[in-house]
């Protein structure tokens, strides 16, 4: 009987090993080798090794199983996400205090003021689009974990600093809070706003520009079209590695209608002709993935709300500061500065240390120094050191 049990155990073990081995070999069918892969230089072996490791079923099983236990038993995901109520997910960047956060806030505020002064030297007006944290707009969906004290005052601090520096910054938090009952402004499973939220912000921006300094030139006409509703599992779901074995545990995908905006009087040849035409575009947009990702149609909504074309310099994955510094070094800014620069700036980036290693340190220090206020504020190398940056 003992021998029979032993044989059955061995047979079961070998069967499982055989199945997993076959499963692993089947994964090689999806392998796509680099064009220059060769047996002689090891590139082919490395490509097979990397693909096998990524597709190894035991690794996937372990990852999925551990994530499922964390999610089901403890209500936790991987670092990067905070689980809320009713399948709402939040970025942990809106919750956790950062080391040296206070020092970095002051350095970033000085850099923002310095950038404003550099724009002003070229006759350009700055409008700061302070994007409120998702957790600030929808605190009713937070669970036990709450934002740290450092995070609680970020929006008001940045907004007050902008006002003190005479930088135009409409109070988007107040505007969005008034509108949140009329439609979803942020996606449940994503860091970003919905196309509806982006459109509301664009309209607030246009009203602020109209009050402060209306755009010169004739108003253009734009139209926005809505596509069929689509399912969208957002970027925060990446921190719940439950797919494919436990994908049923994942929050339900968001549903939204993509939008696209185009000029009513656009000519098919306009885009190429504009490259060589002496045309002054009065608005430049700089920002993060809130502006750069076409899913949200923020730049399109801005065009329609402003009645003007815009030059889009927004970038994903850099935070708000590097794209602005890159823009200040472009020929587009130096040779033909716009009337307005609209700078989209999520509040959660205020205490973060951006990666400014690609820029000249002396130039950055000059900008920070130009924006410094108070006799004891100094510029140090630490103020411009590389750090964490995310979309």
Known catalytic residues are 190, 192, 289
Q: Is residue 27 within 8 Å of 51, Cβ to Cβ?
A: yes
Q: Is residue 277 within 8 Å of 263, Cβ to Cβ?
A: no
Q: Is residue 250 within 8 Å of 240, Cβ to Cβ?
A: yes
What 8-state DSSP symbol labels residue 251?
P
**H or E stretch covering 195:** helix 195-212
Dist CA 61 CA 45 (whole Å): 24
| Closest to 191 in 3D by CA, of 91, 92, 288 | 91
Burial environment of residue 246 by CB neighbours within 10 A (0 to 12, 13 to 18, 19 or more): middle
| Closest to 312 in 3D by CA, of 215, 364, 294 | 294
| Closest to 304 in 3D by CA, of 172, 185, 200 | 200
> How many other β-carbons are positioned within 10 Å of the β-carbon of residue 149?
8
Q: In 4-16, which positions are buried (b, 16+ CB within 10 angstroms) versus exposed (e)?
A: eeeeeeeeeeeee
User: Greatest CA span in the chain, whole angstroms?
Assistant: 94
**Helix %, strand %, coil % of the chain (to 5):** 50, 10, 40
336 CB-side CA count, 13 A: 10
């Amino acid at each position: 009987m003992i021998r029979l049990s032993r044989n059955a155990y061995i047979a079961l073990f070998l069967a499982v090993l055989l199945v997993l081995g076959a499963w692993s070999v089947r994964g090689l069918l999806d392998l796509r080798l680099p064009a220059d892969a060769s047996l002689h230089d090891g590139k082919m072996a490395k490509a097979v090794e990397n693909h096998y490791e990524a597709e190894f079923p035991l690794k996937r099983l372990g990852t999925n199983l551990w994530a499922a236990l964390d999610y089901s038993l403890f209500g936790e995901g991987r670092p990067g996400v905070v689980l809320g109520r009713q399948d709402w997910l939040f970025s942990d960047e809106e919750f956790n205090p950062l080391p040296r956060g206070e020092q970095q806030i002051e350095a970033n505020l000085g850099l923002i003021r310095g950038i404003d002064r550099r724009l002003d030297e070229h006759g350009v007006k700055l409008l700061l689009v302070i994007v409120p944290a998702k957790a600030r707009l929808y605190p009713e969906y937070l669970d036990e974990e709450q934002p740290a004290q450092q995070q609680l005052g970020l929006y008001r601090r940045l907004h007050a600093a902008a006002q003190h520096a005479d930088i135009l910054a409409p109070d988007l938090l107040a505007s969005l809070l008034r509108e949140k009952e009329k439609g979803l402004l942020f996606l449940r499973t994503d860091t970003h706003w919905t196309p509806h939220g982006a459109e509301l912000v664009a309209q607030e921006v246009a009203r602020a520009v109209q009050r402060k300094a209306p755009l010169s030139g004739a108003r253009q006409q734009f139209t926005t079209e809505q596509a069929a509703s689509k399912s969208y599992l957002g970027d925060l779901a990446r921190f719940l590695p439950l797919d494919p074995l436990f994908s049923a545990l994942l929050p339900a995908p968001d549903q939204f209608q993509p939008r696209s905006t185009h000029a009513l009087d656009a000519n098919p040849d306009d885009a190429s002709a504009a490259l060589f035409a002496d045309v002054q575009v009065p608005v430049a947009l700089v920002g993060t993935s809130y502006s750069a990702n076409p899913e949200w149609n923020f730049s399109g909504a801005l065009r329609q709300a402003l009645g003007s074309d815009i030059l889009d310099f927004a970038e994903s994955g850099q935070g708000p500061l590097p794209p602005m510094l890159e823009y200040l070094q472009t020929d587009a800014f130096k040779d033909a500065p716009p009337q307005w620069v609209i700078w989209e700036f999520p509040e959660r980036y205020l205490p973060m240390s951006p990666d400014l290693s690609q820029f000249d340190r002396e130039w950055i220090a000059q900008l920070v120094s130009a924006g410094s206020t108070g006799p004891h504020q100094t510029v140090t190398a630490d103020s411009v050191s590389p750090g964490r940056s995310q979309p």
